[in-house]
Amino acid sequence: MKLLKRIGLLLLIVAIAIQFVPVNRTNPAVDPNQDYLKVSAAPAEVARLLKASCYDCHSNEAKYPWYAYVAPVSFLLQNHIQEGRSKLNFSTWGSNSSGQDLAEAAEEIPEVIAEGEMPLWDYKLMHPEAKLSEAEKRTLIDWFNSGGNSANQLGSDKKYPSGEDDDD
Ligand code: HEC
């Protein structure tokens, strides 16, 4: 089985080689005053749930577990974080320095929670504590739907003109 051995060796070399591909795991600086939870004065339970289930991908406070340092898992993780942040970044909610459509994000949050789309399934596999029970989902959905959080209003006046605003 010479061929199998060669293939094995080749795979091993590839597995080692990809460890040297650089992955940017730095968190951008965080201004606590621009954080969504601060800006919206969210209740403690909402804050706890968002931190536990969403902040690793949708904030500048991502926590990197040991396997975040092992390729190719590290590539997947980094991709999740970059893509997640680009859609919705709770850390920069107040300033919206990344120019996101916050109104849209605020509208989508209860939807993705209700549909069980977020947090992503592979994340839940590694973070059982991020799974939301039905009651926890309700808490978050009610909070985002209630408008008491001002997430939507906040979103729309920070939003860049899209012509779709229904508030005028
Ligand atoms: C493991 C990383 C990860 C976690 C944890 C996570 N998300 Fe996401 N999220 C993503 C990625 C990646 C995208 C963009 C791709 C997509 O829509 O699937 C995204 C997209 C979104 C969007 C935009 C939806 C869309 O269709 O464009 C919303 C809203 C969102 N997430 C909310 C949440 C909320 C709320 C939580 C916590 C309950 C959460 N996410 C947890 C990675 C994550």
pLDDT per residue as tens digits for the range 6-16: 999 999 999 99
Residue 150 has phi, psi (to 5 degrees) of 60, 20
Find out whether 84 and 122 touch, Cβ atoms under 8 Å: no
Residue with tokens 């040297």: 20
pLDDT at residue number 160 = 35
How many domains, in total, are found in the chain? 1
Q: Would 17 be classed as within a structural domain?
A: no
Q: Would 34 be classed as within a structural domain?
A: yes
Compare 100 and 39 and report the one with higher pLDDT: 39
Cα angle for residues 117, 118, 124 (degrees, 5° grid): 105
Q: Would 16 be classed as within a structural domain?
A: no
From 40, 74, 85, 87, mutation site for ligand 1 pocket: most ligand atoms within 8 A of C-beta: 87
The residue whose CA has the least distance to atom 11 of ligand 1 is 84
Compare 164 and 108 and report the one with higher pLDDT: 108
pLDDT at residue number 45 = 96
| 103 C-alpha to ligand 1 centroid (Å) | 15
| 118 C-alpha to ligand 1 centroid (Å) | 5
Q: Would 38 be classed as within a structural domain?
A: yes
Which atom in ligand 1 lies closest to the alpha carbon of residue 130? 5
Q: Would 44 be classed as within a structural domain?
A: yes
pLDDT at residue number 147 = 62
pLDDT at residue number 150 = 63
Compare 145 and 100 and report the one with higher pLDDT: 145
Q: Evaluate if residue 75 carries a pLDDT over 50.
A: yes
Q: Would 40 be classed as within a structural domain?
A: yes
pLDDT at residue number 49 = 97
pLDDT at residue number 138 = 96
pLDDT at residue number 149 = 61
HSE (side-chain half, CA atoms, 13 Å) at 20: 4
Could you give the residue ranges of the DSSP H alpha helices within the chain?
A: 2-17, 36-39, 44-53, 73-87, 102-114, 121-126, 134-146, 151-158
Q: Would 2 be classed as within a structural domain?
A: no
* pLDDT mean across residues, the chain: 87
Cα angle for residues 63, 107, 45 (degrees, 5° grid): 50
Q: Could you tell me the residue range of the domain that residue 152 belongs to?
A: 24-158
Query: Could you tell me the two tokens for 136?
Result: 């926890």
The Cα–Cα gap between 82 and 48 comes to 22
Q: Would 167 be classed as within a structural domain?
A: no
Query: Could you tell me the two tokens for 86?
Result: 């680009």
Number of neighbours of residue 28 by Cβ within 10 angstroms: 15
pLDDT at residue number 19 = 96
Decide: pTM greater than 0.85: yes
pLDDT at residue number 102 = 79
Which atom in ligand 1 lies closest to the alpha carbon of residue 122? 1
CA dihedral 154, 155, 161, 165 (to 10 degrees): -90
pLDDT digits (tens, 9 = 90+) for 154-163: 544 443 333 3
Which atom in ligand 1 lies closest to the alpha carbon of residue 79? 12
